[in-house]
Structure 1
Amino acid sequence: MVKSAPAPIANRNKPSKVEGIKEKSNFLREPVATQILEDTTHFTEEAVQLLKFHGSYQQDNRDNRVKGQEKDYQFMLRTRNPGGFVPPQLYLALDNLSDEFGNHTLRVTTRQGFQLHGILKKNLKAAIATIVQNMGSTLGACGDLNRNVMAPPAPFKNRPEYQYAWEYANNIADLLTPQTGAYYEIWLDGEKVISAEESPEVKAARQRNGTGTIIHDSEEPIYGTHYMPRKFKVCVTVPGDNSVDLYTQDLTLVVITNQQGELSGFNVFAGGGLGRTHNKEETFARLADEICYVDKDDVYNLVKAIVATQRDYGDRTDRRHARLKYLINDWGVDKFRSQVEEYFGKSVAPFQPLPEFKYQDFLGWQEQGDGQLFLGISVDNGRVKDEGTFQLKTALREIVEQFNLPMRLTPHHNIIFYDIAPDIQPAIQQILNRCGVVSDPNTIEPLVRYAMACPALPTCGLAITESERAIPGILQRIRTLLDKLGLQDEHFVVRMTGCPNGCARPYMAELGFVGSGPESYQVWLGGSPDQTRLAQPYTERLHDNDIESFLEPIFVYFNKSRNSGESFGDFCDRLGFDALREFASNYEPGSFTPQATQPKRSPSRSRHRISLHDDIYEKLKAAATSQGQPMTNLVNQALEEYLQKLS
């Protein structure tokens, strides 16, 4: 007996405004199809909502806002690259588009795609058509559906589990790709370009029914008229590899192989997600839960069952409460699993044991296991650009043009070239050296290497404050403070976003900055170095000017009380915020110096004051600034030396 789909959305609680826009769109066609033909600089609100499904956000350059004048409208275009795969032809097309229509940069996203910024409405159609004609797509890169499917970017050819992760990331992306013809009708005048043949197994799985996962007689058999309640994020990884931030995904599949290295099935996590809203306690970041194990032959049916559960039971009345994480949090894992089993058509198997997950970034020159090499290149905040003597954009283009190499974009917005024959390694290295691009990750400042920031201002409409433009200076200030406090060799994961939506995943960082006001951030502490533990909010609003004075007592406490080899995030989690706050409240600013140079002083907490002549004070202040030390330290050292001479 075929189970029918749930009642139409209109028969339930009053849906949000966006649900009505989707319902009236004729499967994502209108009003985008009409308005793209109009000689205007921007789309209406209804069209903007639908444009996201096609892979674009309408933005304006907030640096250029002038009262009384029209906004400087422009468009961000995001690509769909399952597992981060970018063929050479596509990269060159994107590079050209960034110069012809964009702002002369590309940006690697934290979901392994590329973003083009600064495209005008009149050029949007040509840009999307060019991407599709060069083996790419933007369909489903944004909007209320499955986003880009992530996978570890490491091209290990001698480790079959990595190859399975790539294969199934691509297949699940195909399975959940929107089937509407709107995309090709609008952007390619109806010409459907096929970049790769879809797996027959995936085609069959998309139509297979009997348990209610399919909506019959619909242009969208999996999504239906209203698509998903909100965005839906999937990744596929391998045991131990957390390069994908697996706990932050709506759905994570972990490859399980047998002793012969053959695929057996997948462990399944569900219910992760980071987006939240300040001062709305009903919104929160959440880690994914262990759900079950599924055999490889059933994996597509299980994915459909989880998608159908969220599609039919996710909250469509309040978009702040619409992600799968809220459904699982409200229901509990057992009820969620039970509903998934109804759509799956049978009971699921127990979750299998896994090793601890570790974070890796795969930077530098490495063997890929078949005699060839791969090269991971660090890209600060994902921004591919030429600036001064640093010519990353030029270097990448030359490498692709000369050697026709494919690349994988990483979840940490870096780039990996692979399938590199050893005999061309010197030529590639020569290009990198000439363009000022670092290939040895050990020479990268560790705080920079492991940091991430979202684009934020000036283009993101949700940004409250700076992120990408602010983090280089803030990281340098943190490094200066660490050096001053005797923590020269210390580093940790820092992530920053200009708003609470969490695009750079700051809630998993050891130190997270989340935009909370102009030049101000909410600070999160206590995530793990491997991104397996959620951080917690420590302070609601920290002004940019106060970062050093805020962090100094915490870093001092870390220096004095950490366990051997303990990371900063683990320390904050172990001690707890009450202990951190108590220490900070009793800390005398500038009173600590590293043990090797720390002057002898009374254990008393009392503060002794002396007066200095103005000219002496100014000289002392200048000396302290040049040496990067508090004035108190210099005074104590000078007086101690003087008093020793007298004794």
Structure 2
Amino acid sequence: MSNKHIVEGPLAVNERIKGESNFLRGTIAQDLEDRITGGFTSDNFQLIRFHGMYQQDDRDFRAERTKQKLEPLHNVMLRARMPGGIIQAKQWLAIDKFAQDHTSYGSIRLTTRQTFQFHGVLKPNIKLMHQTLNSIGIDSIATAGDVNRNVLCTSNPVESQLHVEAYDWATKISEHLLPKTRAYAEVWLDGEKIEGPDEEPILGSNYLPRKFKTTVVIPPQNDVDVHANDLNFVAIEEQGKLVGFNVLVGGGLAMTHGDESTYPRRADDFGFIPLSHTLQIAEAVVTTQRDWGNRVNRKNAKTKYTLDRVGIDTFKAEVESRAGISFAPSRDYEFTGRGDRFGWVEGIDGKHHLTLFIENGRILDLPQRPLKTGLAKIAQIHNGDFRMTANQNLIIAGVAEQDKAVIESLAVEHGLLDASVSTQRQNSMACVAFPTCPLAMAEAERYLPQLVSDVEALLGKHQQQQDIILRVTGCPNGCGRALLAEIGLIGKAPGKYNVYLGGNRAGTRIPKLYKENISEQAILDELDTLIGQWTIEGKDKEAFGDFVIRQGIVAEVFVSSRDFHA
């Protein structure tokens, strides 16, 4: 392998941590026994991420605990590995019980990574959490850290045969790219220590330079937001059968405020491959990024920066060389939307699928809306499965005709199915942010409900019938995918946000900075003017994001950092 594509310089501290971790074991097991602190110390703070957890604390109480000379209220957030987001009803009941009995918040949170998270698990319950999940066939291996994370797949209950095939590939890709270390079983499941060295033939002993995200998507629904991901397999069908994939590489949204060397980026289409080449290409993309990615500066370590540094053609040629396969010309496809289809849909197998809107993905018993109890009652009688979507919603899938009425009745009774929810609310999304995310600079999940109500009021004021794809994140790391929205708000400080405009409905255009560091009221004032202008000057059925580009309110972003920052 040529060294000319490797960034030279002192390695980032995370490289030392990974290299000295004994294949991700570190001293996590010893740390678990330390009851003096509720947190993990030193390198283990980073290493537990490879096991699917982040150490957090409740920031609402941080100042008070500091005043009392107490350490922060440390706990962990766990993100499960659920390729394609499919979970069985019995599994749901088990995670519901654990959330109720052993988490500080009592909630289950559906994420934009098509899985669920537990928040607020205290140190004495962490091993129990992993063992509970293992007992029902779930783990959290590689859902965080410098590895390939949970593989997304279009939650498509209409083309159900095609979905079955795509989901099968999402599972195969996930399994193929998983870490091979035995650390997870040894630390959390009290697995027997097996003699002999661990090997990581794909990820390497230092794993990847940075996190890596993969999707399988079925056009015309871009419900996984392919341009937010490093590697994407776009399903190509012939006569209803999956024949192969177009491979898109190098998408990503995370950036750093004020650092113009960081930027969001669309993925590039490398070309078409038949199904039989899928795992070879996935491995070749990952190993090329493993070897060429920036291990000196983590802010420039993602695949998108590697492509821009070495060149798309060079990266693609290396993938072809490693896989022993050449890409064919891309097949035609089109994305027409990316939202979930709410309400009942009948699949081609005669079964029915009910998509429920879950605001912010937070499943909790709320006043007049006992969502968590309602889903548990449905799980107790449901003979199909649940499908978590990449938009934080939930599909009750595989419902027989004779069972529809009772499931719908339970959903309505518990506030899970509400006809009064607007399309604007359904097309809005936020990350968790405060109080648990340590990176949050501003509110997101707790801010979104009122923001949507305010935007609904503005749409009504101007008699605008269309909705807007609206997303809020508490920091610029991209979890809520605000940089693929028509209006994206990214937290800058408490109560202050950068406003980005100009994404499109299909999720194939990145928005551009419109206003920087402005207050919530100033945001509404700006949107009042813009929505009024859109209503008067917009073409027939012209989407908001397209309007602001056509009118020159913001310039269109194509691919490069110059487009985004200029």
What's the TM-score once normalised by structure 2's chain length?
0.93
Within the alignment, does 1:576 sit opposite 2:552 as a pair? Answer: yes
Q: Following TM superposition, where does structure 1 have runs of at least 4 consecutive aligned residues deviating by more than 6 angstroms?
A: none
The residue aligned with 1:57 is 54
- Report how many residues are paired: 547
> Which letter does structure 1 place at the counterpart of 2:179?
P
Q: Is the 8 A contact 2:180 2:198 kept in 1?
A: no
Residue 31 of structure 2: aligned partner: 35
What is residue 233 of structure 2 aligned with on the other side?
Answer: 253
1:70 Cα deviation (Å)? 1.2
- What is the aligned partner in structure 2 of residue 324 from structure 1? 303
Return 52-61 or 429-438, whichever deviates more. Answer: 429-438
For 1:592, the equivalent position in structure 2 comes to none
Query: For residues 110-189 of structure 1, what are the structure 2 equivalents within 5 Å?
Result: 110-156=112-158, 159-189=160-190
| Cα drift, residue 262 of structure 1 | 3.6
In 2, are the aligned partners of 1:88 and 1:407 still within 8 Å (CA)?
yes
Task: Say if 2:417 is the partner of 1:438.
Answer: yes
Larger displacement relative to structure 2 (398-407 or 456-465):
398-407
- What is the alpha-carbon distance in structure 2 between the residues aligned to residue 162 and residue 579 of structure 1? 37
> After superposition, where does 1:233-312 map in structure 2 within 5 Å?
233-259=213-239, 261-312=240-291
Larger Rg: 1
Measure the CA separation in 1 of the matches of 2:404 and 2:305: 49
Runs of 5+ in structure 1 lacking a partner?
193-216, 581-647
* CA-CA distance at 1:498 after TM superposition: 0.3
Asked if 1 retains the 8 angstrom alpha-carbon contact of 2:182 and 2:198, the reply is: no
Q: CA deviation at 1:531?
A: 1.2
For 1:378 and 1:184, how far apart are their aligned partners in 2? 35
Which of 512, 517, 533 aligns to 2:509? It is 533
Deviation at 1:547, TM superposition (A): 2.3
Verify the 8 A CA contact 1:365 1:439 in the aligned structure 2.
no
Shift of 1:246: 1.3
After TM superposition, the structure 1 = structure 2 runs for residues 239-638 of structure 1, keeping only pairs within 5 Å, are 239-259=219-239, 261-438=240-417, 440=419, 443-487=420-464, 489-577=465-553
Alpha-carbon distance, 1:177 to partner: 1.1
Structure 1 contact 515–521 (Cα < 8 Å) conserved: yes
TM value normalised by structure 1? 0.82
Native 8 Å contact 2:157 2:346 kept in 1: no
Q: Which amino acid aligns with 1:477?
A: D
CA pair 356-108 structure 1, distance change in 2 beyond 3 A: closer
CA distance in structure 2 between the partners assigned to 1:25 and 1:225 by the alignment: 9
Which digits, 9 at most, give the CA deviation of each residue in 1:8-45, with x for residues without a partner? x9995321000100000000001212211222311013
Distance (whole Å) between structure 1 residues aligned to residue 51 and residue 435 of structure 2: 23
* Contact 1:376/1:439, CA 8 A, preserved across alignment: no
Q: Deviations over 1:459-496 (max 9, x none)?
A: 10000010000111111112222222232x23111000
Structure number with greater CO (CA < 8 Å, separation at least 6) is 2
Q: 1:378 Cα deviation (Å)? A: 0.4
Question: In the TM superposition, what whole-angstrom CA distance separates every residue of 1:373-403 from its partner, at most 9, and x where no partner exists?
Answer: 1110100000001111101101100011122
Q: Output the amino acid matched with 1:52.
A: R
The unaligned stretches of length 5 or more in structure 2 are: 557-566
Residues 159 and 420 from structure 1, CA distance in 2 versus in 1: closer, same or farther, beyond 3 angstroms?
closer
1:98–1:105 contact (8 Å) kept in structure 2: yes
2-structure distance, mates of 1:309, 1:471: 39
- Structure 2 vs 1, CA of residues 578 and 358 (structure 1 numbering), >3 Å: closer, same or farther? closer
Give the partner amino acid of 2:256: T
Q: Residues 171 and 69 (structure 1 numbering): CA distance in 2 closer, same or farther, change over 3 Å?
A: same
Superposition deviation, residue 333 in structure 1: 1.6
Q: Is the 1:364–1:439 Cα contact (8 Å) retained in structure 2?
A: no
Contact 2:228 2:266 in 1 (8 A): yes
Q: Which one-letter code corresponds to 2:522 in the other structure?
A: D
Aligned-partner SS, 1:63: coil
Q: Which amino acid aligns with 2:237?
A: T
Mapped to 2, the partners of 1:455 and 1:553 lie a distance apart of 29
Identity %: 37
